[in-house]
Each structure stands twice: as C-alpha cells, then as structure tokens.
Amino acid sequence: MEFTIKDDETGNELVLQAEPEDYNGQQGWRVVFPGKDSFVMVEKNGYWQACDEPGLNPDFVQAIGASLTPIARYNSSGKP
C-alpha cells in the first residue's frame, strides 16, 4: 500500500509504502521510505510505536499511524 503524509518538521510530503508484517505475534506494518530505509510499527492501546527504530520523532510516528489506522483495522478484523 502506498500513502502520503506531511512531515510536520519540514512541511514536505512523503510518499511511503506499508506492508503487513508479523512482529512478535502482533499485526505490524513495515513502513518503507523512498530511500528504502524501513521500520516496523504496531498499534497498542490506540498508540502507534516504532518497534525497531527508537530515534524517530513520536509526532512523526503518530502521523504515520493515523494514515495506517483505517487499513490496520480492516486487515486485522477482516471488515471495514
């Protein structure tokens, strides 16, 4: 899946890719940047966490999570 977010720090739009990925038994998303760097995100109690990239700005992680939330709910429940 491809989606676009706005980076609050720079104001630039970023086109990212996301692919479902199992992360220690949880539904996660591998988020891939244009330069092919990537990290996994999971949602816990309504809050998104970057699991393998601790230095990311939390606001940036939440912006990505806001774009993933509708898709994550569809894929985990099988219903929109």
State the average pLDDT over residues 5-29.
87
- Percent of the chain beyond pLDDT 90? 24
Domain count for the chain, please give it.
1
Which domain covers residue 62, as residue numbers?
A: 2-77
**C-alpha span between 5 and 55 (Å, rounded):** 19
37-72 confidence digits (pLDDT tens): 899 999 888 889 999 888 888 888 888 888 886 555
1-10, 24-33, 43-52: least confident range: 1-10
Residue 1 has pLDDT above 80, yes or no: yes
| pLDDT > 90? residue 30 | yes
